[in-house]
Amino acid sequence: MMSRRDVLVAGGVAALACTSARARSAIEADVVVIGAGLSGLHAAAMLEAAGAKTIVIEGADRVGGRAHTLDDLPGHPDAGGIQVGSFYTRLITVAQRLGVALQPGGEFDRSALYVVRGQTVAQGDWPTSAANRLVGPERAIPPMALAPALGRRMGHLPDTAAWMTAAGQKLDIPYGTALKAAGASDEAIRLIAANLGSGDINAVSALNAARSAAIFQSAGPDASLRVITGGSQRLPEAMAAALRSDLRLGQLVTGISEGADQVRIDLASGRAIAARHVICTIPFAALRPLGLSGASAEAMKPVIAGLPYTHASFAYLSASAPFWNQDGLPRTIWSDDPLIGRVFVLGDDPAMLKVWLSGPDADAIDRLTPADAGAAIIARLETARPSAQGKLRLERMFSWQRDPLARGVFHHLGAGQWPLLTRAVTATGQRLHFAGDHLAQLASGLEGALESGERAAKTVIEKL
């Protein structure tokens, strides 16, 4: 007969075995890719081509991530992933292979109508305007051009990889401090901060601007921009359609646990998926609330917790007529007004505008109902540009930070974060690997997403 102690020991062993069985789920695939944006889909295609059994899971009910086209709005405007640079070699190659067309577009207007300190000023009148409180030679620089003009005085990076070297570390100081050291006036710094996307310009690293400039300059003097015909989401849709692997939408991840020989993914549905390797492309801002365990996650914990993401909210407005073609003023508006921010013409037929609000301005507009937000924005636009009166209607308010799968439109480097991000973009996981545009080494945006996904896929293929 078993003693009470024997019974307790036997029960404990059985419980431990059950717990171990739950923790070690049956492996369903060689690799699970979390996220069906460009990074995840590109990685999945490479893994599939290498013969790896691959499953792609996506929390949303669509593919694309932040390459998102609002197909229910007039003109099918993009909410993210808009510009395709002529140096986006990976993207151009993938698009050509899949038959996804690119067309000219995405260029910003060189001239703008300025609404500064409540005054509307044409660009030609800016140098002598009472709204212009810049100092000395700065007065000749339009507000939209201040950041690149003054940035050239801060120091530059010789190439796109230099940000990861000592040259980049030297530039990793508060952006406002760097501008001040370069001779910028307080008013210049205020205007640059107005549409920067961060509540505090000194919370952003000067390296962030220098890296963007180096990427732009790498394109050379003949650089041009294009857009994806039909909207940015057409590319990830084509990438997903070309996959033979299992693609599962609506799979919200709640936790990721890395073990010695597998990675387990817990889902909101209560199910779990296990694979030999996992590539996680969730933006860090959206990844933070999830339960992560294992050596690879532990190594990335500081950058996951600390990398900031820019908040951005958009108002999509339809117009009864393209008044911007009739009043003799520039099409684009640039403003320090928290209800206007930047205004872009999306097209003349249908006549559509996009109002882009960033940082604290985006957070403030998010606190209003869509109807109240649209009414406030339209009223302010009608005051700034009288030809708009009675012609605008709100079609949609859109907020990236309210999307739990994004929590921001894109990442930026916080002041003092050079050590964190340089370690992260060169890190190699054991069985859990991270990818996404936030971990690109040489590119940014759509191309950066592809670059990072490609690097993660190559790492996993070598380990399989």
Mean pLDDT of 86-104: 97
Alpha helices in 328-444 (DSSP H): 359-366, 370-384, 418-426
The dihedral of CA 72, 321, 377, 146: what is its sign? Answer: positive
Mean pLDDT of 430-455: 98
Q: Return binding residues.
A: 39, 253
Provide the pLDDT confidence category of residue 13 given band limits of 50, 70 and 90.
Answer: very low
Domain ranges (residues) in the chain = 19-66+229-307+415-463, 109-129+312-399, 141-194+204-223
Which pLDDT score, from 0 to 100, does residue 197 have? 80
Provide the pLDDT confidence category of residue 347 given band limits of 50, 70 and 90.
Answer: very high
Q: Is the pLDDT of residue 234 over 80?
A: yes
The dihedral of CA 239, 241, 246, 252: what is its sign? Answer: positive
Mean pLDDT of 455-460: 98
Which pLDDT score, from 0 to 100, does residue 2 have? 44
Strand ranges, E, within 371-449: 392-399, 410-411, 432-434
The dihedral of CA 320, 232, 360, 169: what is its sign? Answer: negative
pTM to 2 decimal places: 0.93
109-129+312-399 under CATH 3.90.660.10, yes or no: yes
Q: Determine the Cα–Cα distance for residues 332 and 107; give it in Å rounded to an integer.
A: 12
CATH code at 19-66+229-307+415-463: 3.50.50.60
Structure token pair of residue 83: 């510009």
Q: Return binding residues for FAD.
A: 39, 253
Count CB-CB contacts under 10 A for residue 76.
17
Count CB-CB contacts under 10 A for residue 11.
10
The tens digit of pLDDT for each residue in 129-155 reads 999 999 999 999 999 999 999 999 998
Q: Residues with Cβ < 8 Å from 328, sequence gap 6 or more? A: none
Write the DSSP symbol of residue 33. Answer: E
Which pLDDT score, from 0 to 100, does residue 325 have? 96
The tens digit of pLDDT for each residue in 359-387 reads 999 999 999 999 999 999 999 999 999 99
Which pLDDT score, from 0 to 100, does residue 23 have? 53
**Mean pLDDT over each residue of the chain, to the nearest integer:** 94
Q: Determine the Cα–Cα distance for residues 219 and 443; give it in Å rounded to an integer.
A: 11
The tens digit of pLDDT for each residue in 237-276 reads 999 999 999 999 999 999 999 999 999 999 999 999 999 9
Q: Determine the Cα–Cα distance for residues 118 and 362; give it in Å rounded to an integer.
A: 19
Structure-model confidence comparison of residues 13 and 114, the more confident one: 114
